[in-house]
Structure 1
Amino acid sequence: MLRRHLALALLTAMSAAARAVEYPVTDREEVVDTYQGPGGKEIEVTDPYRWLEADVRESDRVAAWVAQQQAVTEAYLADLPERQSFVDELTKLWNYERRSAPSRFGKPGASPERYAYSKNDGLQNQSVLYLGDSPQSEGRVLIDPNQWSEDGTIALAGTSTSYDGKLLAYQRSEAGSDWRVIRVLDVETGNDLDDELRWVKFGGVQWTPDGKGFYYSRYPEPEEGAAYQASALNRKLCYHQLGDPQEKDVVVYEDPEHPDWSAGLWLSEDGAWLVVAVSKGTDNQNRLYVRKADGGANDGGADWIPLVEDFENEFNPIASEGDRLYLLTDQDAPQRRVVTFDLARAGEVEFRDTLVEVVPESAATLESASLVGGVVFVQYLEDVAAVVRRYSPRGAPLGEVELPGVGSVYGFGGWQDATETFYTYTSYDAPPTTYRYDIASGESTLLFQPDVGVDFSKFTVRREFYESKDGTRVPIFLTHRKDLELNGNNPTLLYAYGGFTISITPGYSASRMAWVEHGGVLAVANLRGGGEYGEPWHEAGKLRNKQNVFDDFIAAAEWLVAEKITSPEHLAIQGGSNGGLLVGAVMTQRPDLFGACLPAVGVMDMLRFHTFTAGQFWRDEYGSSDDPAMIEYLLGYSPFHNVKPGVAYPPTLVTTADTDDRVVPMHSFKFAAALQHAQQTSEAGDNPLLIRIESRAGHGAGTPTKKLIEQAADLWAFLWEHVGP
């Protein structure tokens, strides 16, 4: 009897985190889709949670499911013993002043001379835009997005200044949505003009030199109730003349025959030339068209001159000098190079045959280039570390920009007649620090270095390499406290992305520093599919090579175990968006290898992703179920379709947001429902398989600081409960 009472007392003392979770019931329905496979083979696929694809704002049934799931998750997370400790650590670490690099406000020569930068005092939900009379002056508040909403969920999503510095076009985003609203601010009075442009996404604003209007891109107004789920089709490039209603805007470019293609517009600095780059998706390969700019409101009539009419190479306009157009390209250069083309000869000569090389391809990966103050700045990656080299406009080498260490650098933008430019340097152990670069002398001057309250001498950061399944050499960065004994039992967080030519470069994160300060190891792997080693690295991780990405991630986990840094029971994995797909895929392929999983805003249904919002742009990265040659391959790794009863999946906290219109939340809803059902219907243990659904938030951009801290505290507390010491 005494033994029984002791057992009951111990059970009562156990936290909710230690007990089996009772999940809400998720209805399953008989939905079967038939796909065409190779050779006309019909493939039937069941989809019992199709009803969870409905927009939570439009479906009471989905809204009720979300509320039930969130109630269970919140109760579980609130009872985690380390949660408050992480809240306190994160609040302290986030509470430091941070600034962006300044930028010239208007073209050099505009009067008065002014500079803009964004600043956050520490715990402000949104950074504030300031305007000062020098790169270092405090200046005055120009736009404070914190005044736009009580909960901080309306964000400043982009700005563009007129040439004379008197007007500022700015974009607002609400609740993390990709949709933007463009307004125009009179800088002197601080008042908005009447202009308001809607149904804008995936693009910026380019003013004409006369300041009478600007170019922008938009989509048709979606049907009622479909704004957060409808596919992004029929993009138009438009010119807006100040004072006109949006319906009078001139359509500069559209392609009704290819509604799923995307186009971006570039205006030469002198306003003489318009260039349009057309792509079929997120790959860099594009068509290229050019014409003289006829002056804003008249731009709807001139014919476009085709320069490139295939999708074999990337041709990205970066600058112009008169009729000389500078382009970044991978033609005959997988690692990219910089070339020029004489626009005055457009339509008269063969474009590819008359390109003049300025910066040749090198062994390093060319990330970006700019022409500022008569110098071509070229940013490279060498084993995932930034290198910046300078060249004359005709290609003479001018030396490197000396950087503080092995890290990332952003900036080197500006006007062609500028005498200065600005950049920001950061690494895992270096918070973003801004510098002014004098173009004539080649000297960098420190402008702002934040005090984050961290003694970085107590931490170590190192770059290692490991071999993947097929022998490919893959970089990985490790960050941890110097006093940590690497004994094979350290709580370790492995993060990666692996897709869309996106390079994951070193950078400071207050959130991740809380994990490291707490005693965890941070490991960041640079998988194939990214852009770390150029287009060949990307090609090796897309379409039918996607399994290479998962193999690279699994190999990283196995390397961490073999090096006695951690063990499977102490190893957590994390990734977002395409990285969420990565986590979902590897946890269904190797559930034995991980102690906890954090798939965030992931692409989990690989058969239906292309039917929602921006998903149709990803077909050149993933393929699609419409292609008989791809359907079986996609089914082979699609996280939602590979959840199986009887498998003990690691403790998992799926995260998404109700206003994510990039990777719509149905992916995470269906994946979480499948995980819970598999556990409930089999002898597969009682690991928590939860979903955290943020309200009034999107894919990540513009999320207020308060929400960021709360989310990070939930994630780290969940991990510490399951992979902690």
Structure 2
Amino acid sequence: MPRLIRTLLPALLLAGATSLSMATTAPATPEDPYLWLEDVQGDKALAWVRERNAQSRTLLQAFPRFGTMRDTFRAILDSREKIPYVSRRGEHLYNFWRDATHQRGLWRRTTLAEYRKPDPAWETVIDLDALAKAENENWVWSGADCFGPDYQRCLVRLSRGGADAVVAREFDTRAKRFVDGGFKLPEAKTQLEWLDADTVYVGTDFGPGSMTDSGYPRIIKRWKRGQPLAEAVTVFEAQPKDVYAFASVDRTPGFERTVFGRASDFYNTELTLLADGRTTRLERPSDSDFTFWRDQLLIQLRSDWKLGDTTWPSGSLLVTDAKAYLAGERRFTALFTPTATRSLAGLSTTRGTLLLNVLDNVAGRLEEWRRADGRWQRREVQAPFPGTLGASTLHDPLLKDDALAEAYLVTYTDFLTPDSLMLARTGSDQRELLKARPAFFDATGVRVEQRFAKSKDGTRVPYFVVWAPGAKPDGRNPTLLYGYGGFEVSQQPWYSAGFGTAWYTQGGVLVVANIRGGGEYGPAWHQAATKANKQKSYDDFAAVAEDLIAQKITSPQHLGIEGGSNGGLLVGAVMLQRPELFKAVVCQVPLLDMQRYHKLLAGASWMAEYGNPDKADEWAFISKYSPYQNVRPGLKLPKVLFTTSTRDDRVHPGHARKMAARMLEQGHAPLYYENIEGGHGGAADNAQRADLMALEFAFLWQQLAPAQ
């Protein structure tokens, strides 16, 4: 289906690079005596992990409400009242579902008519629990790509223990079994794209030299059914120093196109169009998002683009006739241009309408754009506000007569409003409520406000405060400050039954910071805190903490911080830079050794965000915040809990292991917990997720409100 070329790969870009079994460990050095902890499955390293886990679990399970929280979280996660979110494939809506009976999950389907009912009749396609038992594997669902318009044949991706590396196998959704002699690939970082019913484009580990330095596929081959993989024909190659190579196929009748691409870094790609048997290099800013939509072309800019006397600003969305563009014409209509408070968060397309998701001071709005009488016309959709909106098309461009050609799904949520899913049609503000998540906690008295802090350089940084019932600005509220601040990822309001039951209703305050490095105000907001300017993310986060204290929302002895992945780096850095502001730190699946991050799993693909530590001038700024290199004996630090996963093949668990080991050596007494399964999400099923959440909340309560 047509889609943004760049949105093809967020999962790959933020995913792991190499199989865990391929992890290697450099010899220990005086500068880093803990390199042995990078040996993911090594006996010595795992013995260290088990010892730390036991110590941490003993302390955290002693919290009186630990068992109650864990059981409550498990009930919420297993609840049959959750919204079964769906994706359309032809005449069916597909959903992946977990509950108490199906811990690994069901891949199932129904019709729209059934889905409208309070209790739809679902048809099971794959029972992952049964499959895992039959094959004696710890399978975790990783998705499926199906060949339309009948969607009978699907390329199913199965992960061992939640890792990003997957096994790919062709599945027949009518016969409900894997296809004998069908497409099948062993565990690897793989990309598969259907070309026709008997041909796929494949990028995987073909052997030495076939992967980039970042560990992603470097070579794309055309692979025919029944053909040995070794005989597949190479059709495109990236360079070893690139991040990855990819193929994207648009099979819309009358607009068939294939685009090959090579990503030189996280944000820049070179694209080559294959159409009518000819290849054409697509000239456009290399950091722009690029979408073919029938006879139109959409370009979303991440930097200013000067064409003649016109400069299109970063964050704009441009549209033009695709055929004219390929012929060299450069005439555009701007469908969106950013302002100081508005940015484009995403887009989706029906057959004839473009749906824009716009952030207005971190609150979502929807717009529709259509061509009429040769001109583009805008309509603002009257939708719930302020909160988080989502829009996704139900149109299937492979169907000749599609009854849902102008239909789309709308989601809405905010901190106090449970998620809802609505069916909408373009040109109308009328929506049909399909599903709504129940309220899992009593929000009476809970209130939300948006505030702004002033960062070190004077920048206004927004943040949300979710107040517990009856909470007052007296400096005594147990408060958790959450942030991310990287990769242009926005932190929008969400409804959390976990926070509701274990935090708000128990007297806790949640703060979500919209710091630079995120995408809340478009590409410029992100780019203001990358590479040499990454410190601005940390300054912004500290500024929010200072504002919370100044406004007496909390005080240092009651303030904790939390972040995961890039957010784990955030809280690790700020913990060391401003330890006087905090009492507790929850550091999840973090990057922490920024001198070696680019040598571990997917790390090399993130150098466009952080810089290259092998270059002296770039290590000069990275070294100032890298937590592993900056922790010292004698520092008075807040208590920290590190959590990670052995099966995280995205951010190497060695980051958290080594940081904890170094801090233990220096006398800081951190807590450490590593789940054996779970991948980058930290948990492989609902039981593991509930347990991990209970450990983290127990830690926060023990540190921020010990009297409880």
With normalisation by structure 1, the TM-score equals: 0.84
* Whole-Å separation in 2 of the counterparts to 1:565 and 1:596: 16
Residues 280 and 614 of structure 1, relative CA distance in 2, 3 Å threshold: same
The Cα shift of 1:488 comes to 1.0
Say if 2:297 is the partner of 1:325.
Answer: yes
Residues 488 and 180 of structure 1, relative CA distance in 2, 3 Å threshold: same
SS at match of 1:456: coil
SS at match of 1:637: coil
* Whole-Å separation in 2 of the counterparts to 1:383 and 1:615: 32
Task: Select 2:443's aligned residue among 451, 456, 467.
Answer: 456
Say if 2:355 is the partner of 1:377.
Answer: yes
* Counterpart residue number, 2:200: 214
Residues 428 and 47 of structure 1, relative CA distance in 2, 3 Å threshold: same
* Whole-Å separation in 2 of the counterparts to 1:326 and 1:458: 45
The code of the aligned residue for 2:145 comes to: S
The code of the aligned residue for 1:326 comes to: L
* Counterpart residue number, 2:83: 99
Residues 427-576 of structure 1 mapped to structure 2, 5 A cutoff: 427-439=414-426, 441-513=428-500, 514-576=502-564
SS at match of 2:51: helix
* Counterpart residue number, 2:111: 133
Residues 212 and 442 of structure 1, relative CA distance in 2, 3 Å threshold: farther
SS at match of 2:418: strand
* Counterpart residue number, 1:14: none
Contact 1:222 1:230 in 2 (8 A): no
Contact 1:288 1:315 in 2 (8 A): no
Say if 2:376 is the partner of 1:403.
Answer: no
* Whole-Å separation in 1 of the counterparts to 2:469 and 2:590: 34
Say if 2:691 is the partner of 1:714.
Answer: no
Contact 1:213 1:240 in 2 (8 A): yes
Residues 17-56 of structure 1 mapped to structure 2, 5 A cutoff: 31-32=29-30, 46-55=31-40
The Cα shift of 1:275 comes to 1.6
Deviations 1:71-99 (A, max 9, x none): 22222223233322322332343342223
Say if 2:670 is the partner of 1:689.
Answer: yes
The code of the aligned residue for 2:614 comes to: D
Residues 178-257 of structure 1 mapped to structure 2, 5 A cutoff: 178-194=164-180, 195-201=183-189, 203=191, 205-208=192-195, 210-221=196-207, 231-255=214-238, 257=239
Contact 1:169 1:182 in 2 (8 A): yes
SS at match of 2:44: helix
* Counterpart residue number, 2:142: 157
Say if 2:375 is the partner of 1:389.
Answer: no
Residues 267-278 of structure 1 mapped to structure 2, 5 A cutoff: 267-268=249-250, 269-270=252-253, 272-278=256-262
* Whole-Å separation in 1 of the counterparts to 2:586 and 2:351: 45
SS at match of 1:354: coil
Residues 610-649 of structure 1 mapped to structure 2, 5 A cutoff: 610-649=598-637
Moved more, 510-519 or 532-541: 510-519
Moved more, 476-485 or 552-561: 476-485
* Whole-Å separation in 2 of the counterparts to 1:370 and 1:250: 34
Contact 1:584 1:599 in 2 (8 A): yes
The code of the aligned residue for 1:47 comes to: D
* Counterpart residue number, 2:67: 84
Contact 2:644 2:682 in 1 (8 A): no
Residues 48 and 273 of structure 1, relative CA distance in 2, 3 Å threshold: same
Deviations 1:586-607 (A, max 9, x none): 1111111111111111110111
Contact 2:642 2:671 in 1 (8 A): yes
Contact 1:462 1:477 in 2 (8 A): yes
* Whole-Å separation in 2 of the counterparts to 1:419 and 1:309: 30
The code of the aligned residue for 1:643 comes to: V
* Whole-Å separation in 2 of the counterparts to 1:581 and 1:445: 42
SS at match of 2:680: coil
Q: Which runs of 5+ in 2 are unaligned?
A: 1-25, 306-311
* Whole-Å separation in 1 of the counterparts to 2:229 and 2:498: 41
The Cα shift of 1:123 comes to 7.4
* Whole-Å separation in 1 of the counterparts to 2:231 and 2:496: 45
The code of the aligned residue for 1:710 comes to: D
Say if 2:163 is the partner of 1:177.
Answer: yes
Contact 1:230 1:613 in 2 (8 A): no
Contact 2:256 2:275 in 1 (8 A): yes
* Counterpart residue number, 1:299: none
The Cα shift of 1:261 comes to 2.9
Structure 1 or 2, whichever has the larger Rg, is 1
Residues 591 and 123 of structure 1, relative CA distance in 2, 3 Å threshold: farther
Moved more, 631-640 or 697-706: 697-706
Contact 1:329 1:339 in 2 (8 A): no
Task: Select 1:356's aligned residue among 332, 335, 355.
Answer: 332
Q: Which runs of 5+ in 1 are unaligned?
A: 1-27, 33-45, 107-112, 295-301, 680-686
The Cα shift of 1:248 comes to 3.9
The code of the aligned residue for 2:482 comes to: Y
Residues 246 and 452 of structure 1, relative CA distance in 2, 3 Å threshold: farther
SS at match of 1:169: strand
* Whole-Å separation in 1 of the counterparts to 2:564 and 2:170: 33
Residues 406 and 469 of structure 1, relative CA distance in 2, 3 Å threshold: same
Deviations 1:471-493 (A, max 9, x none): 11111111133322332111111
* Whole-Å separation in 1 of the counterparts to 2:377 and 2:104: 41
The number of equivalent residue pairs is 647
* Whole-Å separation in 1 of the counterparts to 2:237 and 2:48: 41
Deviations 1:132-180 (A, max 9, x none): 1224343311223233446995222122222122222221112121112
* Counterpart residue number, 1:282: 266
SS at match of 2:242: coil
Contact 1:102 1:422 in 2 (8 A): no
Contact 1:99 1:118 in 2 (8 A): no
Moved more, 455-464 or 662-671: 455-464
The Cα shift of 1:583 comes to 0.7
* Whole-Å separation in 2 of the counterparts to 1:565 and 1:314: 41
* Whole-Å separation in 1 of the counterparts to 2:349 and 2:28: 59
The code of the aligned residue for 2:625 comes to: Y
The code of the aligned residue for 2:246 comes to: G
* Counterpart residue number, 1:75: 58
Deviations 1:242-296 (A, max 9, x none): 44443344433212x344332333222336211234322222x3322212165xx
Residues 498 and 123 of structure 1, relative CA distance in 2, 3 Å threshold: farther
Say if 2:288 is the partner of 1:314.
Answer: yes
Question: Matched residues, percent identical?
Answer: 31
The Cα shift of 1:525 comes to 0.3
SS at match of 1:446: strand
* Whole-Å separation in 2 of the counterparts to 1:705 and 1:665: 21
Contact 2:682 2:689 in 1 (8 A): no
Contact 1:128 1:141 in 2 (8 A): yes
* Whole-Å separation in 2 of the counterparts to 1:566 and 1:450: 31
* Whole-Å separation in 2 of the counterparts to 1:173 and 1:81: 36
Residues 89 and 520 of structure 1, relative CA distance in 2, 3 Å threshold: farther
* Counterpart residue number, 2:153: 167
Contact 1:196 1:246 in 2 (8 A): no
Say if 2:662 is the partner of 1:674.
Answer: yes
* Whole-Å separation in 2 of the counterparts to 1:152 and 1:78: 30
Residues 95 and 634 of structure 1, relative CA distance in 2, 3 Å threshold: same
Contact 1:94 1:123 in 2 (8 A): no
Deviations 1:282-340 (A, max 9, x none): 22x3322212165xxxxxxx5x32123874x31322x3214x43333344221221323
The code of the aligned residue for 2:650 comes to: R
The Cα shift of 1:619 comes to 0.6
* Whole-Å separation in 2 of the counterparts to 1:306 and 1:230: 24
Residues 146 and 385 of structure 1, relative CA distance in 2, 3 Å threshold: farther
* Whole-Å separation in 2 of the counterparts to 1:519 and 1:89: 17
Moved more, 337-346 or 525-534: 337-346
